[in-house]
Amino acid sequence: MTTSTTEILFPSLDSEINLKFACYLKVLRLLFDQVSSTPNSVVSKRQIYYRDVTLFKKQAVINQCIDDIASSFGVSTETLGVVAAQKGLIYADLQYYYRDKLVNLEKNEGATLLPLISLESRHEDFRFISSCPEEIIIVEKESVFSKLCKEHGQKNKILITAKGFPDRLTKRFLYHLTQHYPEAKVVALVDSDVYGLMILKEYKYTPAIKITEFPKLPITVKDQFARKTISKLDELGHMNPSWYVSPCSRLEYGGTFLFDNANSLGHLDITCRDFNNMKSFLRTLLEFDHGSPDPEMKKVVRELQMGMFFFKKREMD
């Protein structure tokens, strides 16, 4: 959760400040109505955004307002009755207890939305009953995910897709799932283009999961670039550290490769915008690679470099 200290003087000659004040006031009103309504009822940030699209204009505005308000009150967004929207899908035979409540997922019911969990959930909130899966497969595209669901119906594998770039709920769920099943192989099936490789980075290399105490991690995240520590001042002026880790640092790069003979689809041309994004992304990866060499990182760097050299990309079929 990213928060900031903002001073707003109202009314103002600056129309943007007036608009920001109106947004905060509207969100406060909606949050008050939420916590005053039916006990234990929840609403997603997306639902709040749709209550006044004309005023908010962008989802990012709502996200920042809610995070700032929660931080100012010293509570989590869930305390205010706001939860992450369920975007990701899962296809699995999986049973577990989450905060003493049984969750039962069955493949014969088809793919379902990822079960709702708190973004502040901890390792001890979960108790998995099902045996360890052979493989946990993260899929970039929903179309490929649907195809794989038909192929892996009888296999002890778990399929997950965030339908593009992963949301916080999907990343949090994957983190807990892979921590509880350390023996399971975890593979990401992504396109050999800059967006697919950036999605892989979000899962494997981006420290996005806040944990309470790093030394007590069930499985130590050894990759330095897959974790970080941030210290913030509290109300008493003390520096309190927060630890962040990536959703799954042991994730392997799968999917398609630029020169994959098994892929029936041909190569596609990249645009100038793609090339510029690849150049910027490659620079970031090379900084990571210099600090902590990783064989999976080398695959990603190779795909980017070859794509830039041949001005081509390849998508999964």
**Cα radius of gyration rounded to whole Å, the chain:** 21
CA distances from residue 152 to 18, 43, 110 in whole angstroms, order as listed: 54, 34, 12
The residues that bridge with 185 in the sheet, in sequence order, are: 135
Q: Determine the Cα–Cα distance for residues 169 and 183; give it in Å rounded to an integer.
A: 23
Q: Which H, E and C letters describe the chain, residue by residue? A: CCCCCCCCCCCCCCHHHHHHHHHHHHHHHHHHHHHHCCCCCCEEHHHHHCCCHHHHCCHHHHHHHHHHHHHHHCCCHHHHCEECCCCCEEECCEEEEECCEEEEECHHHCCEECCCCCCCCCHHHEEECCCCCCEEEEECCHHHHHHHHHHCCCCCEEEEECCCCCCHHHHHHHHHHHHHCCCCEEEEEECECHHHHHHHHHHHCCCCEEECCHHHCCCCCCCHHHEEEEEEECCCCCEEEEEEECCCCCCEEEECCCCCCCCCCCCEECCHHHHHHHHHHHHHHHHHHHHCCCHHHHHHHHHHHHHHHHCEEECCC
Angle at 180 between CA 293 and CA 134, to 5 degrees: 80
Asked if 50 is an active-site residue, the reply is yes
Query: Which of 50, 91, 181, 205 does the annotation list as catalytic?
Result: 50
**Token pair for 45:** 């940030």
Enumerate the active-site residues. 50
